[in-house]
Structure 1
Amino acid sequence: MVNQSPTRTAGTTTAGAKPSRGASRAWLASHWAGLAACAVAIPAAFAVHLLVPAVPVMTMAVVFGILAANLPGVRDWVAGPWKAGLGFAGRKLMRAGIVLLGLKLSIVDVLALGWGTFGVVVAVVLLAFGGTYLIGKAFRLPGDQPLLIATGFSICGASAIGAMSAVRNSKQQDTVIPVALVTLCGTLAIAVLPLLMGPLGLSPHAFGQWVGASVHDVGQVVATAQTGGAAALAVAVVIKLMRVLTLAPMVAMAGVVTRRRQGQADGGAMKLPPIVPAFILGFVALVAVRSLLPVPAEVLAAATVVQDILLAAALFGLGAAVRIRELFSSRGSAVLMAMCSWALIAGLAYGGILLLQG
């Protein structure tokens, strides 16, 4: 009996090590094909952006994903061998990209525009969020879709949707539809808003303010505002970053509500999600680094490239979960609701700009 114990212990150790190596191999076997598809889609999205600078990389990544999910032949790969890798990209790589987004934000730059501008932008975000959420409920969109669409449209597009869906543990279908809609409306903004600059009598500075306060994704803001010149682009980016700053507190509030509801539903038996996810803490930490320390331009440039790659992979993965038929189901209620939200935030932002000018 005594002589058998070491043998069992050793066998247990060996057996315990094998599942770890086996799990790694199994993970690679199930994920490599989807990640390889991302590795092909990302350079293609960048290539389109280089050829047509007005088309943001992130927009093309979502478009390529949607095409892959709906083209005959390719969609079988999306639903089969690529599925696990694309899901990993849509969840984990999105969170890593959001962390690096923090390096774009300097509190000093934001406050340089003044407290009045900051207050107007925050008011626009809150009103757009609440209004869009109510519109989503009025259109009877299922699950977390009203909340996620409100988050994406009011704050920073797909990145905000990914952050909110993580803290809410939203279903994949509740996430991919908002991503597709925010991409659709952001792309429309690139084409439509510059046409309104003249009729509305907006100066380049005011046009930049309007774009920064109303367009969803950072890349879409850049593509839209640059049509108004360098002055418009500069103010648009800073105001957009003001909106991005609201991401952390909004996600934190959602985390508090989610914990409370889950705790009430299961009597505290289940493990509750964190109030603020680790990747949001990482985002806040990098905002602090950028605001308090002199970060070399080379580091910022490299971080931007890595962030763009991560977010492009994530958006390709999310886009690959969108089925056109489902997007336009229920007589296109989700698309119609998104258009209403787009008009709402554009109107609120325009009103805010008039208030600042007055």
Structure 2
Amino acid sequence: MELAVHFSQSSARARSLLPGMLACAVVGAAAGFLSEHYRAPVMLFALLLGMSMNFLSADGPCRAGIEFTAKQVLRIGIALLGLRITVGQVANLGWGPVVLVLTCVIVTIAAAMAAAKLMGFNLLFGLLSGGATAICGASAALALSAALPAHPQKDRATLFTVIVVSALSTVAMVLYPMVTQALGFAPPTAGKFLGATIHDVAQVVGAGYSISPEAGDIATLVKLMRVAMLLPVILFASLLTRRLGAVEGGERPPLLPWFAVAFAVLVAINSTGWVPHAVQSAGNDVSRWLLVGSIAGIGMKSHLKEVATVGIKPVLLMVGETLFLATLAMALLHWLS
């Protein structure tokens, strides 16, 4: 009897979630189609299309599924990012790129938090925008947002960060290869610079292989090292918000969210070499589409007029973070060469 009741409740729950999840899937598919045909970030299309359909998140049959997709599906997609990385990939690059990535990520996030504080923003917005800039663009913004405590402005801050970091990543994909050629960088050096500075993985791949196969391979591996920094940065975010929660009397989030643990486990499993290439590829594709669907859900929960009210200061903050990262990476490459 208990089993029948549980099954009945689960079935009812699934039926309540299905309309909203299907809406997010349709928007995600449309975003993928537009991205392939217009060569622009799929996350950006998913956000904009989702925002154009924000009426679906009002009270109605789609609301529960949109909420579920924007939160729980997002976490599953982040966990599956672990199938992109192996410990061997990091080790094969040697100590130079490791120092480059560690320094760029740590210093950029610290500078972003300090700048955010000076500009009058919440410290956690500096962590969110700095992490998106320093690690892996929209995916990092979504992961850090999922690890941060609930806040009335969190969805708007996440949405704004994803839009700006996606736009900046596209600009960097076009400009940075020209910068490396103007400065006379050899393909390996150019690959390290592109992998250490461009925000999103897809844009790194496009920029790197536009120079040469060697530059593309190195840029991709350096970028994956930055993706691997997602776990310690999420842990730092959790520790910081627990401390702030204790000081301010708010709710203390878990020390390490379950999706971060799953991310680490998948990296460890993937590093054994036991995971077939077909499974890795499928996991990467599933992760990508889950993240696209979840960002569509976040878009549906938001209103463009709310994003438009943030003003110019947050844009200047993120542009400054991007320029700071590029300058720092160039200086470190000169020092390490």
CA shift in 2, pair 1:22/1:112, >3 Å: closer
Q: Confirm or deny: 8 A CA contact 2:177 2:194 kept in the other structure.
A: no
Which residues of 2 match residues 155-170 of structure 1 at below 5 A?
A: 155-170=135-150
Within the alignment, does 1:274 sit opposite 2:261 as a pair? no
Letter in 2 for 1:164: L
Gaps of 5+ in 1: 1-12
Secondary structure of 1:41's counterpart equals helix
Query: Which aligned pairs between 1:253-332 and structure 2 lie closer than 5 A?
Result: 253-266=236-249, 272-332=252-312
Work out which of the residue numbers 323, 340, 346 in structure 1 matches 2:320: 340
Partner of 2:202: 219
CA contact (8 A) 1:151 1:164 kept: yes
- Structure 2 equivalent of residue 245 of structure 1: 228
The separation in 1 between residues aligned to 2:134 and 2:107, in whole angstroms, is: 8
Larger CA deviation: 156-165 vs 97-106: 156-165
Q: Which residue of 1 aligns with 2:48?
A: 66
1:77 partnered with 2:56 = yes
**Partner secondary structure for residue 311 of structure 2:** helix
| TM-fit CA distance, 1:163 | 2.3
1:176 aligns with 2:156: no
Q: Secondary structure at the match of 2:253?
A: coil
Deviation at 1:238, TM superposition (A): 0.8
TM-score, structure 2 as length reference: 0.88
Unaligned runs of 5+ in 2: none
In the TM superposition, 1:112-261 aligns within 5 A as 112-142=92-122, 144-171=124-151, 172-261=155-244
| Partner residue, 1:5 | none
Secondary structure of 2:182's aligned partner:
coil
Cα RMSD (Å): 2.6
Aligned equivalents of 1:214, 1:184: Cα separation in 2: 14
What CA distance in whole angstroms lies between the structure 2 residues aligned with 1:78 and 1:304? 28
Does structure 1 conserve the Cα–Cα contact (< 8 Å) formed by 2:54 and 2:302?
Answer: no
Q: Cα distance, 1:330 vs. partner?
A: 4.7
Q: Shift of the alpha carbon at 1:285?
A: 0.7
Structure 1 residues 337-346 or 79-88, which shifts more? 79-88
Q: Is the 8 A contact 1:129 1:151 kept in 2?
A: yes
Matches within 5 A, 1:80-119: 81=60, 82-119=62-99
Tell me if 1:48 matches 2:28.
no
8 Å Cα contact 1:226/1:233 also seen in 2: yes
CA positional deviation for 1:343: 1.0
Q: CA deviation at 1:214?
A: 0.7
Q: Percent identity?
A: 29
- Deviation (angstroms), 1:43: 2.5
**CA distance in 2: counterparts of 1:200 and 1:88, whole angstroms:** 48
1:28 aligns with 2:15: yes
Distance 1:323 1:353, change over 3 A: farther
Shift of 1:211: 1.1
Q: 1:265 to 1:307 in 2, by over 3 A?
A: same
Deviation string 1:10-51 (CA, Å, 9 cap, x unpaired) is xxx88x97698457525633x333311222123333333443
Equivalent-residue separation in structure 1 for 2:203 and 2:70 (angstroms):
20
| Deviations 1:57-76, CA, capped at 9 Å, x for gaps | xx22332322341x4xx342
For the residue of structure 1 that corresponds to 2:121, the secondary structure is coil
Separation in structure 2 between the aligned mates of residue 189 and residue 83 of structure 1, nearest angstrom? 36
The answer to whether the 8 A contact 1:144-1:170 is kept is no
Query: 1:320 and 1:135, CA in 2 relative to 1: closer, same or farther beyond 3 A?
Result: farther
Change (3 A) 1:297 1:113: same
The structure that has the greater radius of gyration is 1
